[in-house]
Amino acid sequence: MVLCGSAVLRSLDVAADLMAEHPRARLVVTGGRGHSTPTLFAAVRSWGIADDGSSEAAVLAALLVSRHGVDAGRITLEEASAHCGENASLTAPLLPDGHAVVVQDPTMQRRTHESFLRALAGRDVTISSRAPFVPVVRPDGGYDDAGHRAWGMDRFVDLVLGELRRLRDDERGYGPRGTGFIGHVDVPPEVEASARLLGEAFPEAARG
């Protein structure tokens, strides 16, 4: 099992539940420090946790132990990765053959899944993804109950459009024509059309 570092703390609930359902499973918590690290520490500030320079993996693992009762002996830390591609490439050597479930921020789930497929190519490991929830925006611009306001709307749009840029197989993306962290992904035309409309409504995010 893999838990990727992010500021979506509902991921902790999902990871803890999976560990309880599978008592023989081990968990790799992956995440060093990167551009989203301040967002994680902002999310846990109300729990009395300050940014002391710890990795995202260390913070999340400590919360799994202290707040969810997960046995620390079942957790392995990967603390060197700075982004999604490295989450996969640096975690892959720590995973045994078999099946692994990856838990991630739902806006990053597809790219993360693709990154692990790439990193584990040629290995006898199957990957499945478990998003903590699927955010849904109502016509009035608010979130439904599943969204739990993990992000403000501007931040959410920025994340969604940023993910699409990374999934495209071009020089700016994560695919073979870009960084090479993932394989080729076909983005459906209707998704591209929706992204254009969203970019027109949120031009600052579109320029990211």
Assigned CATH for 152-205: 1.10.3620.10
pLDDT digits (tens, 9 = 90+) for 47-105: 999 999 999 999 999 999 999 999 999 999 999 999 999 999 999 999 999 999 999 99
Q: Indicate the pTM of the whole model.
A: 0.91
Indicate if the pLDDT at residue 188 is higher than 60. Answer: yes
How far is Cα 110 from Cα 133, in angstroms, rounded to an integer?
13
Matching fold, domains 2-130 and 152-205:
no
| Residue percentage of the chain with pLDDT more than 90 | 81
Give the contacts of 66 (CB within 8 A, at least 6 positions apart). Answer: none
Residue from 54, 58, 99 nearest 75 by CA: 58
pLDDT digits (tens, 9 = 90+) for 132-167: 998 888 777 777 765 456 788 888 899 999 999 999
Side-chain-side CA neighbours of 27 within 13 Å: the count stands at: 30
Domain 2-130 belongs in CATH node 3.60.9.10: no
Q: In what order do the strands lie in the sheet with 125-130?
A: 75-78, 27-30, 2-4, 98-103, 125-130
Domain boundaries, the chain: 2-130, 152-205
Give the contacts of 190 (CB within 8 A, at least 6 positions apart). Answer: none
| pLDDT at site 141 | 72
How far is Cα 20 from Cα 1, in angstroms, rounded to an integer?
12
185: burial class by Cβ within 10 Å (0-12, 13-18, 19+)? middle
